[in-house]
Structure 1
Amino acid sequence: MPAENDGNFRALLRLAIDSGDENLKKHVQTAALIQKKIINRINKSQCFAIIADETTDVSGIEQFSICIRYVDRFENEEKLREDFLCFVPVEDTTGSGLANVLIDKLKELKLSFAHIRGQGYDGARSMSGHVKGCASVIQNLYPAALYVHCANHSLNFAIATTCKIPAIRNCIGSMKETVNLFRMSTKAGTLLKNLILESFPNSKQVRNTLGGALRISFFI
């Protein structure tokens, strides 16, 4: 058993494995190997940024989701990657407590802090506070780890603000009604899918719902 409570789901997984579920055991071991390969790539890149967000799971336990953004070098090519590493339960939600959890976990995973160059979190005071926030605590220890406000959270704030403008709110309402038309009508959905395939015959991502076909028609 782990020293800390890591949630009911993981406890049930351990119980199933201990009870003789060999398929589940093999799957979990494979996941660990994938994580190890990702960490090796990150250390090889010698430059990475932490992306983390705090949330509460269904059992009420605070969790940190940790991702790493880095440049992957393979066969003389460089590709920007963003890979999920793990969830980490947290009890101390102060800036220093969250920073300690991040640092301890990344050290446990054997990531080299000599290569950290950035941090990306939301705007919550415990994360971004310039005196006692998680970002400040880590940057005091590793000055090269510059903090940047998470772009996804910034986009969410921008959308929430613009939705208060009547013209934009009405436009989004019209889009929602269009979505519902293709989602609820098999005939309309099939027609849209056929039109997409006619215009983009090489498309491999066509689904008979607005959540798929219509969005693809916007972004292909």
Structure 2
Amino acid sequence: MNFSSFANERNFRDLLRFRIESGDKELAEHLTRSSRRETYISKTIQNELISCCGTEISSIITERAKTAVLYSIMFDDTTDIAHESQLALVLRYVHNGVLREDFLEFISLRRSSAEHSETMNHSVHEPNHYR
């Protein structure tokens, strides 16, 4: 069994348990009355929820940066747990008088070089319409 998958599912179920213990009667009723196949708490649903939340958060960050007077796009080269090189994409801007540095995404790198980073910079700029 993949440990990270198990840990993530455990966190999700712990969050559901916390909500029920905090008085979420609708959730408690849903989980007790629904058949096992109709609870919608599988790892697939969990990943879909995370993806939807990520998309919404990225959209909010992008819109805030686009409406700022000035903003910058920052990349930071890092290595993940599988020793794969990746860029962390961060937008820096001022929103309501507060300087923000918001993480947007990790971008996998096939090779690590300044030229490749520059290519990634151009490819990230255009699709997200930061200009």
TM-score, scaled relative to structure 2:
0.61
Cα RMSD of the aligned pairs, angstroms, is 2.0
| Structure 2 residues not aligned, in runs of 5+ | 5-41
Q: Give matches, 1:48-67, under 5 Å.
A: 48-67=71-90
Provide the residue aligned with 2:110 in structure 1.
Answer: 91
SS in 1 for 2:100: strand
CA distance in 2, matches of 1:89, 1:71: 28
SS in 2 for 1:42: helix
Task: State which structure, 1 or 2, has the greater radius of gyration over its C-alpha atoms.
Answer: 1
- C-alpha offsets along residues 182-202 of structure 1, whole Å, 9 cap, x if unaligned? xxxxxxxxxxxxxxxxxxxxx
SS in 1 for 2:101: strand
Give the alignment partner of residue 105 of structure 1, picking from 107, 111, 124: 124
CA distance in 1, matches of 2:99, 2:73: 14
| Structure 1 residues not aligned, in runs of 5+ | 1-8, 10-18, 113-220
Kept in 2: contact 1:71–1:80 (CA 8 A): yes
Letter of the aligned partner of 1:105 in structure 2?
A: V
Aligned sequence identity (%): 22
Provide the residue aligned with 2:61 in structure 1.
Answer: 38
State the shift of 1:79 in Å.
Answer: 1.5
Residue 71 (structure 1) aligned with residue 90 (structure 2): no
Kept in 1: contact 2:85–2:111 (CA 8 A): no
Kept in 1: contact 2:68–2:94 (CA 8 A): yes
User: Kindly tell me: are residues 60 and 49 of structure 1, through their superposed partners in 2, closer, same or farther at Cα, counting changes over 3 Å?
Assistant: same
SS in 1 for 2:81: coil
Provide the residue aligned with 1:156 in structure 2.
Answer: none
State the shift of 1:21 in Å.
Answer: 2.2
Residue 81 (structure 1) aligned with residue 100 (structure 2): yes
CA distance in 2, matches of 1:23, 1:59: 23
Kept in 2: contact 1:69–1:81 (CA 8 A): yes
CA distance in 2, matches of 1:20, 1:91: 29
SS in 2 for 1:71: strand
Letter of the aligned partner of 1:31 in structure 2?
A: G
State the shift of 1:63 in Å.
Answer: 0.5
Letter of the aligned partner of 2:113 in structure 1?
A: T
State the shift of 1:101 in Å.
Answer: 0.8
How many residues get paired?
91
- The structure, 1 or 2, with the larger RCO (C-alpha pairs under 8 Å, 6+ apart) is 2
TM-score, scaled relative to structure 1:
0.38
Kept in 1: contact 2:74–2:92 (CA 8 A): yes
Q: Give matches, 1:124-163, under 5 Å.
A: none
